[in-house]
Structures are given as structure tokens and as C-alpha cells.
Amino acid sequence: MSNVAASATPSVSGFDVPRHVAIIMDGNGRWAASRGLPRSEGHRRGVEALRRAVRAAGDLGVKYLTIFSFSAENWTRPASEIRDLMGLLKRFIRNDLAELHSNGVRVRIIGEREGLSPDILGLLQEAEELTRANQNLTLVVAFNYGGRQEIARAARRLAIEVSEGRMTPDQVTADAIGGALDLPELPDPDLIIRTSGEQRLSNFLLWQSAYTEFVFLPVHWPDFDRAALESALSEFYRRERRFGGLAAQAGG
């Protein structure tokens, strides 16, 4: 993995790079099926694509990269596929963590941790602890994650605060809910990319994506590379982001 770029004004084709990019990594199974390969090979090649994505994001100057690695709904998949996915997660952390650390990448985890097996939970905690002081790129791994579940956890936290008298019901504002999310200091994503041509969020960052731009790429995730990322960034720059306001008027 190449060193993460530390340019103060990173750009692609003259445009400033978005601060936070999130990716729904979709299409591993379809990639494998189209080649007559087992789904496990699609997932393995998907890990290679993840390595390329982290390199490219760092080189281009993205400060936060969030990946949807395993959803809360993925537990309904066949047990053999879940074992393959957990094995790939373990190998990725064991094989890549030292390199991520040496390149100044900080790893953060969002998602429900209660009920995870001790070995998986230990690896996630190790990745966060080892890289805690790194500042070049923050890699946010959404694991056992669902956007609705995250909002429900935030609501429960605030309900406890109200029930114990530390806040009043009228203090439960949008800001308060945002502050009770899994990683409240994480800036909202500027851009969410989904591969494989599907055009839905699939319960990913529902609260945080209120004003996010979306780019849907026809490429399956195992084929994702720097060129695909730059293509998504180029599409992002053609958008006019108004955040609920009016478009800029030509000529004032």
C-alpha cells in the first residue's frame, strides 16, 4: 500500500476532493457468478478491491473513507458464506493492519458490537486501539451495521438520559440525536458510491446522508479501482450542492 498523500489542497482534475466518501461495496457474488466462480472467490477479490480503494482514497487526499463491510441483515446469509466473510475480515485485519498503521490510517468501527464473537470483537478493538493516534486517513468500517439500528441505539441512549433526569424531552433535538450516534464526530459523507448498478441505500448511513450526493457505478466491486473512484469523483463535481437552499443565480 502506497503512502497516504498529505497534500493540503488535494484535487482531481483541478477540483477539491470531498472530505468524506462512503462506499457500498456491492456485486461480489454477481462478479463471481458471471465467471463461473464460487461466491467465496468474489468476496476474496472484493478484499483486493478494498485495498485498492484505501490506497486511492489516501493518495487523492480523502480524509474519511467509510465502507459498508457487513450489514446487520447479512447474518441471514448461508452459514458457509458468513464463515467465509468472517475469515476474510480476520485475514484483512491480521495481514493489512500493520501496513495501514504505518501509512497513518486510523481505523474506526460503527455498528452493533453486542453479541459479536470474542475473536471478531477483539480484532476490531485491536484495529481501533493500534491506530488511534493516526491522522492521515480515517477508515470507518461499518460492521454488523444498519442505519435504522444505529438511530434506534441513539434514541435509546437519549431516552435513558431523559428517564434519569439528565435532559428534558424538549432537548431531544436533531443535534442531540446526531450526537448520540455510533461515531458522532464523523462528518456527514459528501459522497456515497454504490457499485454493481443497484440504486438504493440498503440501510446505510440513513441519518448522515440527508444531503449526501450519490453516484451509482455499473462496475462490480471486485473490479473497483482508482479509475472507478476518480470517475465517481468527477460525477460528484458536476453536481450543485444546495443543502436545501436555492441554486446560485447566474449573474448575481
Write out the catalytic residue numbers: 26, 74
Is residue 212 within 8 A of residue 188, CB to CB? The reply is yes
Is residue 41 within 8 A of residue 30, CB to CB? The reply is no
Measure the CA–CA gap between 121 and 126, rounded to whole angstroms.
Answer: 9
> Of 88, 110, 97, 21, which is closest to residue 58 (Cα–Cα)?
21
> Of 152, 225, 164, 159, which is closest to residue 195 (Cα–Cα)?
225
Sign of CA dihedral 163, 165, 166, 168: positive
Q: DSSP string spanning 149-182?
A: HHHHHHHHHHHHHHHTTSS-GGG--HHHHHHTSS
Q: Which residue type, as a one-letter code, is found at position 191?
A: L
Measure the CA–CA gap between 231 and 229, rounded to whole angstroms.
Answer: 5
How many C-beta atoms lie closer than 10 Å to residue 53's C-beta?
A: 24
Helix (H, G, I), strand (E, B) or coil at 54: helix
